[in-house]
A and B are shown apart, each in its own frame.
Chain A
Amino acid sequence: MKDRTMPNTGLLNIYFTAGYPQLESLHYILPALMEGDVDFVEIGLPYSDPLADGPVIQMAGKKALDNGMNIDVLFDQLSKHSALMIQKPVYLMGYFNQMLQFGIEKFLIACQKVKVTGLIIPDLPMEYFEKEMKDLFEKYGIKITFLVSPLTSEERIKKASELSTGFVYVVSSPSITGTKAVLDEKMILYLKKLAGMKLNRVLLLGFGIQDKKSFELASAYLDGAIVGTSFLKQLDKGETDKNQILQFLAKFKKN
């Protein structure tokens, strides 16, 4: 949990899709993020049917699949960055069927081997995880992050917080990724409610965080925020070298 008395101490989590814009792009994006002022890295496994994602991440995923990205290629790419992988927590975000077909245990072993910190699986229900998968995650020391939204009851927020061994992914509004977060009174009430629950987990706000203002709002009440779609848009513009990525990151954290 962050010290909420200090301004601009929010934690920044940057998402990018593996294999996008080019198959090998991870080899320069990951080092740049490790060097930049980023606290978490989240890497998306491109999927054919990403139900929780908006057009930008859908398109990036499709391009990445067309480029030839798959789980084996991703693990192979990550294996070349073992020194970087321990610098900051790296989470993989993918859909349950990808893990299921690869083999849940095999997937966790591969994560452990390349030093992935944890997983975010938006269509994996907490109850199913608890019953069928929790022990395996513990066995291989892989963390799990669950999502909560403004529609989630307090009881389930507590459950998500208890079950999440990584951070808790706080969805800004009932929507898909990339929908602009509306920083209104309702949002502030929601963030206040979460902050007031004194959950013993890092809470990061995601979906539609695209500028300093929304990042700071998230950091004022929670521990920080996740930026995905707007980073992909940056990559899509071709602004992909290290300095350009560092400049992008500075938009959020610079005083």
Chain B
Amino acid sequence: MNYTQLPNPEGFYGVYGGAFIPEILYPNVKALQDTYQVMLADIGFQEEYNDLLKNYVGRPTPLYEAKRLSQHLGFRIYLKREDLCHTGAHKINNTIGQIILAGRMGKRRIIAETGAGQHGVATATVCALKGLDCIVYMGEHDIQRQAANVARMRMLGATVIPARSGSKTLKDATNEAIRDWISHAEDTHYIIGSAIGPHPYPDLVSRLQSVISKEIKIQLLDQFGRSTPDYVVACVGGGSNAAGAMFDFLDDEKVKLILAEAAGKGINSGSTAATSQIGKKGVIHGCMTLLMQDQYGQITEPYSLSAGLDYPGIGPMHAHLIEQRRVKVLSATDDEALRAVLELSRLEGIIPALESAHALAVLHQLTIKRDEVVVVSLSGRGDKDLGIYMENLKMDEI
């Protein structure tokens, strides 16, 4: 199967994807659809993108063999250290690419949505770098639980606008960003941070993030003598870091791919973000995908302690990969993720983001042989979650 050849020209991965957008956005989205592949392949783009990834973001990020964690779990674990990227997460791989594209399209005003704030910070950062106006929509609830990232965005010169509708989280911030784009279609580029949205965003974001899997291949060959692991594990909300960590392995079916969803308080608790397990096919934010909804198509509110994973949908590419059984989905509850945070902190001296901890948590659910190699995408660092950790980990008892 040639998964990396997808989507088709209309933006479909099987039955998922497409561009279900109001007509006002058609010219913008069509222009992106028609040009993104050419722009990405352009030598000038590649030079600037790679230069910034190397000298500004700090790539390649290390592939680190986590020996104590490996010993603890009984198989060989490598961590892809996206947490060491400038701004503290993988999100900047995408924003660097899109800000160059925005410049080439002549857009001076940049908007973004953000959940945990990592994509918002990554967007504010590249806007400062390029001297462009930056407006970030963030759910009011997320603004409260991710105050440090809000401060970072403001320091970087971005305007942070609270989304006050619905659950006041990522879904609502995305609605507001799309409404802004509708109202400023001519001068504005919308930098979507996840592998979601109308075509070509899922593909654009996946390809910009695929630098993660490209580096894994090279680094694994260098350190381990072969370029493919047995497993790649990544957390998934919308799916950008999973898309990036898995992209170059999609067509090599020997590599098992595991997505870790946020189960929140439990898949069937009514407070969950395990989209692929309780979601159904539908349209959200411009694409056909799996999403959490009721029988009337009203989108239901997701829940996760992690602000980066509580999205009611999943990228259309991921939905297709799930349907084709190319990827396996597991889930971790808030508590399991918190335990994984502490486990990695104590065993490896790395405090992971709560999102990334979901990928670490599902390692406990896998039956993996001693000599097998697992690469885990450590998508972000835990600094932004310290408040949550202090509140939930009972610091004086541990």
Contacts and interface: CB of A to CB of B under 8 A. Distances in A.
A160 to B, nearest CB: 7
B178 interface: yes
B182 A52 contact: yes
Residue in A47, A52, A152, A179 with the greatest tally of chain B CB atoms within 10 Å = A52
Contacts of B21: 123, 125
Contact of B24 (A65, A97, A160, A171): A171
Nearest to B171: A49
Contacts of A123: 20-22, 283, 286
Contacts of A52: 22, 24, 179, 182
A112 interface: no
A4 to B, nearest CB: 25
Interface stretch (B62-70, B215-223, B234-242, B293-301): B293-301
Contacts of A149: 23-24
Nearest to B18: A128
B166 A49 contact: yes
A97 B284 contact: yes
B266 interface: no
A212 B165 CA distance: 32
Contacts of B298: 47-48, 65, 70, 98
A151 B22 contact: no
A205 B175 CA distance: 24
A174 B182 contact: yes
A53 to B, nearest CB: 8
Interface residues of B, number: 36
Interface in B1-55: 10, 18-24, 26-27
B175 A97 contact: no
A128 B20 contact: yes
Contacts of B20: 96, 123-125, 128
A147 B166 CA distance: 26
A127 interface: yes
B186 interface: yes
Contact of B283 (A62, A96, A151, A179): A96
Nearest to A96: B283
A33 interface: no
B282 interface: yes
A160 B293 contact: no
Nearest to A98: B297
Residue in A96, A101, A153 with the greatest tally of chain B CB atoms within 10 Å = A101
Contacts of B179: 51-52, 54, 176
A132 to B, nearest CB: 10
Interface string A126-168: 1110000000000000000011110111001000100000000
Given A101-B282, A125-B19, A151-B27, A175 B183 contact: yes
Contacts of B184: 174
Contacts of B300: 48
Interface residues of A, number: 41
B284 A49 contact: yes
B165 A152 contact: no
A128 B179 CA distance: 22
A48 B185 CA distance: 23
Residue in B175, B186, B286, B294 with the greatest tally of chain A CB atoms within 10 Å = B175
A159 to B, nearest CB: 10
A58 B24 contact: no
A148 B23 CA distance: 6
B179 to A, nearest CB: 5
Nearest to A45: B296
Nearest to B301: A48
A167 B23 CA distance: 15
B22 A70 contact: no
A71 B294 CA distance: 12
Given A100-B297, A123-B20, A51 B182 contact: yes
B108 interface: no
Contacts of B294: 101
Interface string A77-103: 000000000000000000111111110
A174 B186 contact: yes
B280 interface: yes
Interface of A: 47-49, 51-52, 54, 58, 62, 65, 70-72, 95-102, 122-128, 146-149, 151-153, 156, 160, 171, 174-176, 179
11 contacts: A51-B285, A70-B298, A72-B296, A97-B297, A101-B282, A122-B23, A123-B21, A124-B20, A149-B23, A151-B26, A151-B27
Q: Lowest 6 CB-CB distances: which A-B pairs, in order?
A: A101-B297, A97-B297, A98-B297, A48-B298, A97-B283, A149-B24
Given A58-B165, A100-B282, 17 more contacts: A47-B298, A51-B175, A65-B298, A97-B297, A98-B296, A98-B298, A123-B20, A123-B21, A123-B22, A123-B286, A124-B20, A152-B24, A174-B182, A174-B183, A174-B186, A175-B183, A176-B183
